[in-house]
Structure 1
Amino acid sequence: MDTSVSLLLIALLIALSAFFSTAELAVAASRRVRLRQLLDQGEYRAQAVLKVQEEPGDYFTVIQIGQNSVAILGGIVGEGALSPFVQQLLLRVGVAMETAQTAGVLTSFVVVTSLFILLADLFPKRLGMVAPEQVAVRVVGPMHFFLAVFHPIVWFFSRLTDALFKLLNLPQRRDDTITSDDILAMAEAGAEAGILDASEHEVIENVIELDTRTVTSAMTGRERIVYFLLDDSDELIKARIDQYPHSTYLVCDGDIDHVVGYVDSKFLLSRVLKGQPLSLRSEGLVHKALMVPDRLTLSEVLDQFRQAAEDIAVILNEYSLVVGIITINDVMNTVMGGLVSPLDEEQIVQRDADSWLIDGVTPIPDVLRALELDGLPHQDDYQTLAGFLMVMLRRIPRRTDAVEWGGYRFEVMDVDSHKIDQVMVTRLRSGPDGPGGAAQQAHMDSASKAL
């Protein structure tokens, strides 16, 4: 075969192979969400790509037939494509015939193979990865032509492939269900790429966590609740409002565990301006409070707020004792995270690269995020950092008590009436077999036996 004809055939085969490689990777890498966006924007070819992704068997069978056919033809044509030219060139400079023939074959093989690797494999696949959806909508039309041409062969091999999948009990369709983990992974990738700000990434994570975080992680604890008793005098009510200004106050009968309802401070202010007494037994002043169990998630309590048309709820444990209160603002503050926390005292303060001062009531998800930990032992048994220390120590912690786990040292810095106020967390520099790792294992064993 003439050298020019051989080179033309090789160029054609490289182009075909590049097309099949691009068509294969582009469709496989295309995101269904992005394809639906293109379809909504009027790109109707995206519908064909979505259909191929739903039933990819015939499509990829054509690609494999095409690629294997091109590879075989490329080997036949390429073997002698450049051999005569290289051989003649070497003979002119005095190289022996046998050596010139061998060098010609090797040179032809190396050059043709390199061209196929570069132009028919690496370049088209990288192109398909960079912009998969845009490439997929352009190649899906021509691929339908090849589907029609090779239909009998495609049908035969597709049925054999289907039989193998059934024999091995393998799924024949891709699972395109998007989970919360997928959303978090995409958000993290967007943050790393600079598309999302750190605060936006945090908000997305917090929204996803609403289904896993319980109300106790965002509540105002029992000891911090400001409440009135039904028989409190006007002077006592005014003094308490002056000392603890809030928009809403619980009203109890005798003690905090007997909640009658709640009163809105604006109604109290209205009575003061009108010169009326602040008697909490006045009709219509105290509203019935929404009661929720302490095992509800933040997402579930939002549903309760919507159904009851309330924005405050009293949280009860299994013994019907009040453990705290939660408002819709508490849930929203949990979602907004760092966007609103600068207005309040931060629960987690990073002192340097290897140490943090953390409030004992800080929710565990916030602690894990700050320390970049995947989890803590027996995590279902507590909601806060203080709870983690209690579970690990198996007693009420005292100042200077410490637990070492996961490469960190958790030391109690301040305790107020058995309540852990501050914990110093320090990153340990020892390896898993060093002092830190040994202490971690000791604590783990102790906690496991106690549980």
Structure 2
Amino acid sequence: MWLINLTIVLLLILANGIFAMTELALLSSKKSKLQQYADDGKKSAQIALDFLERPTDLLSTVQVGITLIGIINGAFGGAALSAPLIDWLAGFEWLAPYASTIGYVVVVTIITYLSLVVGELVPKRIALVSPERVTMILAQPMRIFSSVLKPFIFILSKSTSVIFRMIGLDRLQTEDETEDEVKQLLIRGTKEGTFATSEAEQVSRVFAFHDQLAYELMEPRTVTEWIDLTDSPDEILADLRSAKHRNLPVGHGDLDHFVGYVDAKEILASEQPIAVIESMIHTPLIVPKQLQATVLLERMRKETVSIAFVLDEYGGFLGIITLFDILEAFVGEISTVEEEPELVQRTDGSYLADGLLHIDDLKRVLDIKTELPGEAKNSYHTVAGLVLYLLGEFPVRGSHVTSNGYRFEVVDLDGRRIDQILIERLEDPVDETSL
């Protein structure tokens, strides 16, 4: 009889482990993975998805099972299993007065230990290692158990729903994976070697692109190559031949009076470039500076254009955006033979940065995790903008500021535009702004 009781207790502990493992495995499973298995024809995956749609049913099933196990365990454990040990201890005269207490405590301690290790810890560790696999193995047995106990589970589910409504929660809600969670997965995957660094960077750029606006992607007016129709024919021809870009804005006197854009290669291929230039002007896509980058890309795709003009609220010309600029937003800077890289590390460890370098690219290279001054307010989007923000006035050559452990010094100006900035790491970072 004692052996039967022991067998029942051990089986109950194993059953408790199965319930605990099922609950944690299902709640830890990725819905996307289960859906993929279900699409491949695995019925157990579909059962698991059904449980995820009604989590209260699962929790009720598990709780009923664990409660029943606890009740039955109480009947067959403890006193029943401790009887032989108590009889044996009673054979020692000096232990006889305490035999019942000692025997009961020893048996309960052993059962508790086995319940924790075999009935909880080990099953839950297994569930965390391979949640989807465990879920698909146990989903069908759990559904059968749920069907048998359906009346009890129905009462529990309804009771839970009523209480949830009473405290203001209509239903259990599970949040989708957020952008930050995906980024953390990428960081962990990169460290573990699951993802290449370049792959993680590309995915991060996709998230960043979703948050960007048109004026963050544009080539600003100050560096935009363009054709002035008021120039002499020789000057126009020279500008067409020396241009680094193929599509060039066309204006009368200045870019605020633009009329469109031309394909420099197409015009130069004609027999009389100057004579045909006005007839070959194309109408550009006009976008406001606050337009979301994703919307801009969709509009350029639908209207089959490769260039867009960015205007401010007053209709002033701010800059241009090409498909090449959008490509760089996804894959990073692409330097051509004619272009100098925007950020160059020197032999002494310092950096020489183009004033137009985007602040996100700078932070990525310098591994700056905290926000820069004024960044949260979108006060600027380039390194030159950061320097101007900290200085509070137009700089001269040699003007410098410090922020986030780095010193930023203006080393070259193109008129009033900051052209080159020297960036050095500070030995003892101190925030200051100085000329």
How high is the TM-score relative to the length of structure 1? 0.84
Alpha-carbon distance in structure 1 between the residues aligned to 2:118 and 2:272: 88
User: Is the contact between residue 230 and residue 280 of structure 1 (CA under 8 Å) also seen in structure 2?
Assistant: no
How far did 1:181 drift? Answer: 4.0
Do the aligned partners of residues 81 and 403 (structure 1) sit closer, same or farther apart at CA in structure 2, a change above 3 Å counting?
Answer: farther
CA–CA distance in 2 between the matches of 1:353 and 1:57?
62
Q: Does 169-178 or 255-264 show the bigger shift? A: 169-178
CA distance in 1, matches of 2:363, 2:398: 22
Q: Report what 1:295 is aligned to.
A: 290
- SS of the residue corresponding to residue 160 of structure 2 reads helix
Pair 1:412-2:409 in alignment:
yes
- Structure 2 distance, partners of 1:423, 1:76, is 79
Structure 1 residue 8, shift from structure 2 partner = 0.2
Q: 2:394 maps to which residue?
A: 396
Taking the aligned partners of 1:100 and 1:400, their CA distance within structure 2 comes to 90
Instruction: Find the aligned partners of 1:268 and 1:342 in 2 and give their Cα distance.
Output: 23
User: Which amino acid in 1 is paired with 2:409?
Assistant: V
User: CA contact under 8 A between 1:25 and 1:128: conserved in structure 2?
Assistant: yes
Aligned to 2:56: 57
Task: Work out whether residues 315 and 325 of structure 1, in 8 Å CA contact, stay in contact via their aligned partners in 2.
Answer: yes
The aligned amino acid for 2:342 is Q
Kindly indicate whether residue 225 of structure 2 is the aligned counterpart of residue 226 of structure 1.
Answer: yes
Q: Give me the whole-angstrom Cα distance separating, in 2, the residues matched to 1:353 and 1:215.
A: 36
Cα 1:63/1:363, change in 2 over 3 Å: same
1:323 maps onto 2:321 in alignment: no
Letter in 2 for 1:326: I
Asked if 2 retains the 8 angstrom alpha-carbon contact of 1:206 and 1:334, the reply is yes
Q: CA deviation at 1:327?
A: 0.4
RMSD (Å) for aligned C-alpha atoms: 3.1
Could you say which residue in structure 2 is the equivalent of 1:449?
Answer: none
**C-alpha contact 2:400 2:410 (8 A) present in aligned 1:** no
Task: Flag the 1:306–1:8 CA change in 2: closer, same or farther, 3 A.
Answer: same
How has the CA–CA distance of structure 1 residues 224 and 283 changed in structure 2, closer, same or farther, with 3 Å as cutoff? closer
Quick one: distance in 2 between partners of 1:375 and 1:243? Answer: 40
Q: Please give the alpha-carbon distance, in whole angstroms, between the structure 2 residues aligned to 1:91 and 1:348.
A: 85
The TM-score, its normalising length taken from structure 2, stands at: 0.87
Q: 1:230 to 1:133 in 2, by over 3 A?
A: same
Flag structure 2 segments of 5+ consecutive residues without an equivalent.
Answer: none
Identical counterparts, % of pairs: 29
CA displacement 1:73-100 (0-9 Å, x = unmatched): 3344332465455556667888633455
- What is the alpha-carbon distance in structure 2 between the residues aligned to residue 9 and residue 425 of structure 1? 73
Matches within 5 A, 1:82-97: 83-84=82-83, 86=85, 96-97=95-96
Matches within 5 A, 1:158-173: 158-173=157-172
Give 1:329 deviation, angstroms: 0.9
How far is 1:150 from its partner?
Answer: 2.1
For 1:361 and 1:376, the matched residues in 2 are separated by: 16
Please give the alpha-carbon distance, in whole angstroms, between the structure 2 residues aligned to 1:106 and 1:321: 86
- Tell me the matched-pair count: 428
1:375 to 334, 357, 371: 371
Structure 2 counterpart of 1:243, which letter?
A: S
Name the SS for the 1:383 alignment partner: coil
C-alpha separation in 1, matches of 2:263 and 2:193: 44
Letter in 2 for 1:223: T
Q: Is 2:303 aligned against 1:304?
A: no
Match of 1:108 in 2: 107
Q: What is the CA-CA distance between 1:125 and the residue it aligns to?
A: 0.9
Q: Post-superposition shift, 1:283?
A: 5.6
Instruction: Return the alpha-carbon distance in structure 2 between the equivalents of residues 282 and 341 of structure 1.
Output: 30
Q: What are the within-5 Å matches in structure 2 for residues 333-372 of structure 1?
A: 333-337=328-332, 340=334, 345-349=340-344, 356-370=351-365, 371-372=367-368
TM-aligned CA deviation for residue 402 of structure 1: 4.4
In structure 1, the residue matched to 2:216 is 217
Asked whether the 8 Å contact 2:220–2:320 carries over to 1, the reply is yes
109 and 424 in structure 1: CA distance in 2 versus 1, 3 angstrom threshold: farther
Unaligned 5+ segments in structure 1 are 444-451
Q: Name which of structure 1's ranges 417-426 and 118-127 shifts more when overlaid on structure 2.
A: 417-426
